[in-house]
Amino acid sequence: MLDLAFLRQNRDLVARAASQKNVAVDLDAILALEAEVRANKTDIDRLRAERNAISAGFKTAAPEEKAELGRRAKEAGAKASELEAGIADKEAELRDALLRLPNIPWEGAPVGPDENSNVVMRTEGKLPDFGFTPRDHVELCEMNDWADLGRIVQVSGSRQYCLKGRLALLEANLMAWALGKIAAAGFTPITVPALVREEAFVRQGQFPGHKEETYQLPNDDLWLAGTAEVALTSLHSGEILDLSKGPVLYAGYSPCFRREAGSAGRDVRGLLRVHQFAKVEQFVICEADEAVSADWHAKLLGLAEALLADLEIPYQVIETSTGDMGLGKFRMNDIESWVPSLGKYRETHSCSTLHDWQARRANLRYRDAEGKVRVAHTLNNTALASPRILVPLLENHQTEDGRVRLPKALQGLMGGEWL
Ligand SMILES: Nc1ncnc2c1ncn2[C@@H]1O[C@H](COS(=O)(=O)NC(=O)[C@@H](N)CO)[C@@H](O)[C@H]1O
């Protein structure tokens, strides 16, 4: 959410951001509504003051004036209550409109309508030269009985998976390994629920725009989060944080649930795009300083790249376009990992700087060095998400006879060289 004063002073900047992010906004209507709410509040205060002044003078008034004074006090009170009733609806309408305003994208973001405008920033790691036609991850799983992607359909429907044997162990080990790596970088490991209240999705930014992507449990007034980011954004809502010793750093672990309503027909085979997955999330709440945010953005990206280097997976870093980065982002860099069977890179990580857009919605504030209370900045990045990461992991390290050699970083965890 943008600061109202910022919106008033930067109307054209916000309008440009909205067009660059394909968001339909009516800024004049928002500004007019905001002015009306402000005017109503002024009237309510004036009417209240008038009624209080009358009441204060009532005791000392001449008896013949009391009736008239009583009538005027009553009238002022009634007028104030009438304005208050109307203002509640207008404020709800104003808040809903403000929640749908985009953050301003950084000037280095490629301007374009969707992922086709994304730009490759840099490519890391040598692509494997197999000397044979690489199998895809589904075939490798079938050959080694590492997953049941068939019979699970009659249990849970499409876009579900169950891992078996050494691959089930690998997923559990990978999540613990990633959590340990990010914790070792100074982040507090934390497990958070996926069962979350609606307000947490509004604060994180997924609502009110994208309810169709989220599973709802209406009997319990709960929804299933698609990322630990949702719970982590709300964990400290309403607090005045002490950031004097540095930012709040969380390595969040949670199950993630996504309806993938918008992905019909895409990635229906295998482990790339499923309804429930596990993820270790990097999450930062820092002081409202663009340079500090930029520094943490680089750190979050570096940590994810270090994990991919340990997994010996070739990848590329993407500068995400204005149309693809989403409403709340100032900057987003996706990391795409090489998938040999597809002959292309696929997204496995998403690193975002949001400045105060999310923190304002979640009411995350701190006291700065001068003692002034300010809205904080937030950032997040994937550390590792499974089963998607298993796709490049299995495929890049396969041998001609369908075995998978583990990267050195995992051999200790998994008790040997081979999965
Ligand atoms: N439906 C899905 N199935 C499997 N993995 C998924 C799915 N959706 C997302 N992921 C994984 O989760 C990662 C992060 O998802 S994201 O929406 O891009 N970004 C976030 O959730 C941020 N909180 C950063 O993690 C993706 O890069 C991908 O690796």
Supply the CATH number for residue 136's domain.
3.30.930.10
Same domain for 94 and 165?
A: no
Same domain, 76 and 128: no
Note whether 73 and 132 are same-domain residues: no
Sheet holding 365-367, edge to edge: 240-241, 365-367, 373-375
Residue 56 is predicted with a pLDDT of 87
**How confident is the model over 156-178, as pLDDT tens digits?**
999 999 999 999 999 999 999 99
181, 303 in Cβ contact below 8 A?
yes
Q: Specify the pTM.
A: 0.94
Same domain, 258 and 188: yes
Looking from the CA of residue 273, the nearest atom of ligand 1 is 3
Give the model's pLDDT for residue 269. Answer: 86
pLDDT of residue 210: 86
pLDDT at 59 (0 to 100): 84
Residue 229 burial class via C-beta count within 10 angstroms: exposed 0-12, middle 13-18, buried 19 and up: buried
Share the mean pLDDT of the chain: 96
Residue 197 phi, psi dihedral angles, 5° rounding: -75, 155
Ligand 1 pocket test, pick from 267, 268, 349, 384 with the greatest ligand atom count within 8 Å of Cβ, gives: 349
137 in the same domain as 36: no
Identify whether 321 is part of a domain: yes
One domain, residues 61 and 164: no
pLDDT for 61 equals 85
- Please give the average per-residue pLDDT across 308-323, as a whole number: 98
Same domain? For 45 and 146 the reply is no
Domain containing 37 equals 26-100
Domain count, the chain: 2
pLDDT (tens digit per residue) in 237-249: 999 999 999 999 9
Q: Return d(Cα 89, Cα 126) in angstroms, integer.
A: 58
Let me know whether 92 and 122 are in one domain.
no
Quick check: is 247 in a domain? yes
Which of 100, 132, 159 terminates a domain? The answer is 100
Per-residue model confidence as pLDDT tens digits over 187-223: 999 999 999 999 999 999 999 988 999 999 999 999 9
pLDDT at position 58: 85
Predicted confidence band of residue 264 (pLDDT cuts 50, 70, 90): confident
Encode pLDDT of 49-68 as tens digits.
Answer: 998 898 888 888 888 888 88
For residue 262, the model assigns a pLDDT of 86
CATH number of the domain that 64 lies in?
1.10.287.40
Of 259, 277, 300, 391, best ligand 1 pocket probe by most atoms within 8 Å of the beta carbon: 277
Residues designated as active site = 258, 273, 347, 350, 388
Q: Find, among 110, 136, 176, 99, the residue nearest to 358 by Cα.
A: 99
* The pLDDT value given to residue 161: 95
Per-residue model confidence (pLDDT) at position 228: 98
End residue of a domain, out of 49, 73, 100:
100
Of the candidates 351, 107, 76, 45, the residue with the CA atom closest to the CA atom of residue 227:
351
Q: Read off the tokens for 59.
A: 């005791």
**Residue 181 is assigned to a structural domain of this protein:** yes
Nearest 10 degrees: Cα torsion 204, 385, 318, 263: -70
279 CA closest ligand 1 atom index: 12
Is residue 358 pLDDT above 90, yes or no? yes
Mean of the pLDDT values across residues 83-110? Answer: 94
Residues with CB under 6 Å of ligand 1 are 227, 229, 258, 260, 273-274, 277, 279, 281, 347-350, 380-382, 385, 388
SS3 category, 346: strand
